[in-house]
Amino acid sequence: MDDTQFTTTEARLLKIWTQVISQEVLSQYQILRESNFFHVGGSSILLVQLRAEVEKVFDITISLFQLFEASTLAAISALIDKASAGTGQGERLESQVIGAAADNIPQVNQIDWDKETAIPANLLPERPRARTTFGNPAVIVLTGSTGFLGQAILKRLLNDNVVQKVHCIAVRDKNRVEDNDIFRSSNKVVVHYGDLTAPHFGLSETTLSNIFSEADALIHNGADVSFLKTYETLKPINVDATKELVRLSLTNQLSFHYVSTASIVQVTGKESWAPLSVKDYPPPSTANGYLATKWASERYLEKVADQYDLRVWIHRPSSITGDGAPAEDLVSNLLKYAEKVKAVPDMGLWKGWLDFVSDETTAMQIVDEVYEDCSWPGHVRYFYQSGEEMIPLSNLRGFLGNKIGGNVDVLPMNDWLTIAERQGMNAMLCEYMRTVADRPLTLTMLEKESMWL
């Protein structure tokens, strides 16, 4: 690492990075000006620590939202220089700063979605494995198995006694496996530790090839679910990993079950949407990074299915409920903390529906589709896992009033979020809601029938 390549601000910021990120982790990377905090060992929790140190060292005030948007060493440094009214080399980077513009609206480079979702010429360099027609799959590859929904899917696969083996790949946290009865309850589960962003997902090329050569279907459930991270930050784990899994599945003729999200239909701006492609509604470059990665992955899968006849199912769960539900889900938290606070936020520019489905129902419906595999030609099929409970946003106050049997107030969004955060609402989610509170948002109603592309 050559400090002469950095501006003064960048060098000072890098020193803070070395204090916040474990030296053992950070030493694995060559840190450059364009290095992304989240790609060299940083996390959302560590970003909170980073902000505190940056504010102390540089004597400035900076928002988490700005740090999420400006996540490279150069961009954060430029943001610091701007906040400090600095001059010199750092100032020339101002055009690269993401999220530093007026009104907190990110200014980013335009994303070429055709390029992002283009099929590489060498996607299928070898003759694919001959496809065997079967009634039920014997071997499944599962990503995201230690997550909330992933555990429910794995449990369903094991309880049904249909499959003979489940390869859980790219498992990062050994503790979540060793302390979990689901993984210990059956000898059908084979755990492969690794990471979706690592070469070969952290496995040897031979091991990975052997896994996919014996498998019948893939359930790709792994993702980084963050509403604050940018598309570029999330791309390696949420898009590039999908592309590599597509290559492996196509070579070995696996059925590909992709767990997307129902919130992707928000890109249409429509009040309701059937289970159809959203390919005609590319997200703006300033869009929620997580939704943008889901759109890119869906579009890539559609193109591959069309060109190579890959069997693709796209599953779009709505807000999933159950024990251990993620603290970052906007819709679930909105309802949960409105009940706790006994008040709803003023959502003047928001409209649509809150839609909930249990983890058990979601897992059952996804796994049932895996069992429905047959010798179809390659088409994309879309499914919503949704609709167990639906609440019109316009009637949230009345719904809660009936539920708690008392008066429900309406508070300004910022006031409501301050109270909700004190009550335990996820700080990152509060930060996200503050950034979008004054923007139009349509929570699209999901029409349930399944459709072919």
Note whether 283 and 292 are within 8 A (CB).
Answer: yes
Q: Tell me the C-alpha to C-alpha distance, in Å, between residue 15 and each of 10, 50, 136, 196, 262.
A: 9, 11, 55, 28, 41
pLDDT at 130: 64
Cα 290 to Cα 72: distance, rounded to the nearest angstrom: 18
Does 187 lie in the same domain as 245?
yes
pLDDT at 99: 31
pLDDT band at 445 (very low <50, low <70, confident <90, very high): very high
Does 46 lie in the same domain as 173?
no
Q: Is residue 397 part of a domain?
A: no
Indicate whether 287 pLDDT > 80. no
**25 contacts: CB under 8 Å, gap ≥ 6:** 40, 41
In single-letter form, the type of residue at position 338 comes to: A
Note whether 440 and 270 are within 8 A (CB).
Answer: no
pLDDT at 112: 96
Note whether 219 and 366 are within 8 A (CB).
Answer: yes
Indicate whether 94 pLDDT > 80. no
**Domain residues for 21?**
3-104
Does 245 lie in the same domain as 176?
yes
Q: Is residue 310 part of a domain?
A: yes
Lowest mean pLDDT among 66-70, 203-207, 358-362, 374-378: 374-378
pLDDT at 90: 37
Tokens of 391: 């609440």
b/e sequence 304-334, b meaning 16+ C-beta within 10 Å: bbeeebbbbbbbbbbbbbbeebeebbbbbbb
Cα 254 to Cα 263: distance, rounded to the nearest angstrom: 27
The CATH number given to whatever domain includes residue 99 is 1.10.1200.10
Q: Is residue 380 part of a domain?
A: yes
Does 143 lie in the same domain as 99?
no
The per-residue pLDDT for range 226-262, each reduced to its tens digit, is 888 999 999 999 999 999 999 999 999 999 999 999 9
Tokens of 249: 């599945």
Cα 88 to Cα 156: distance, rounded to the nearest angstrom: 59
Q: Is residue 168 part of a domain?
A: yes
pLDDT at 452: 47
Place of tokens 């369903």: 156
pLDDT at 203: 97
- Cross-strand partners of 343: 409
Does 287 lie in the same domain as 199?
yes
Q: Is residue 338 part of a domain?
A: no
Q: Is residue 292 part of a domain?
A: yes
Element (H, E) at 326: none
Does 133 lie in the same domain as 83?
no
Share of the chain above pLDDT 70, in %: 89
pLDDT at 132: 59
Q: Is residue 358 part of a domain?
A: yes
Does 150 lie in the same domain as 86?
no
- Cross-strand partners of 356: 319, 389
The per-residue pLDDT for range 387-430, each reduced to its tens digit, is 999 999 999 999 999 998 889 999 999 999 999 999 999 888 88
The per-residue pLDDT for range 288-316, each reduced to its tens digit, is 899 999 999 999 999 999 999 899 999 99
Q: Is residue 377 part of a domain?
A: yes
Does 273 lie in the same domain as 150?
yes
Task: Look at 1 and 434; give whichever has higher pLDDT.
Answer: 434
Does 218 lie in the same domain as 86?
no
Does 255 lie in the same domain as 147?
yes
pLDDT at 97: 33
b/e sequence 210-235, b meaning 16+ C-beta within 10 Å: ebbeebbbbbbbbbbbbbbbbbbbbb
The per-residue pLDDT for range 8-36, each reduced to its tens digit, is 999 999 999 999 998 888 888 999 999 99
The per-residue pLDDT for range 253-270, each reduced to its tens digit, is 999 999 999 999 999 999
pLDDT at 303: 96
Does 137 lie in the same domain as 81?
no
> Number of folded domains in the chain?
2
Please identify, among 73, 104, 135, the residue that sits at the C-terminal boundary of a domain. Answer: 104
Averaged pLDDT for residues 184-199: 93
Does 369 lie in the same domain as 227?
yes
pLDDT at 293: 97
The per-residue pLDDT for range 62-78, each reduced to its tens digit, is 988 889 989 999 999 99
Indicate whether 88 pLDDT > 50. no
pLDDT at 286: 74
pLDDT band at 153 (very low <50, low <70, confident <90, very high): very high
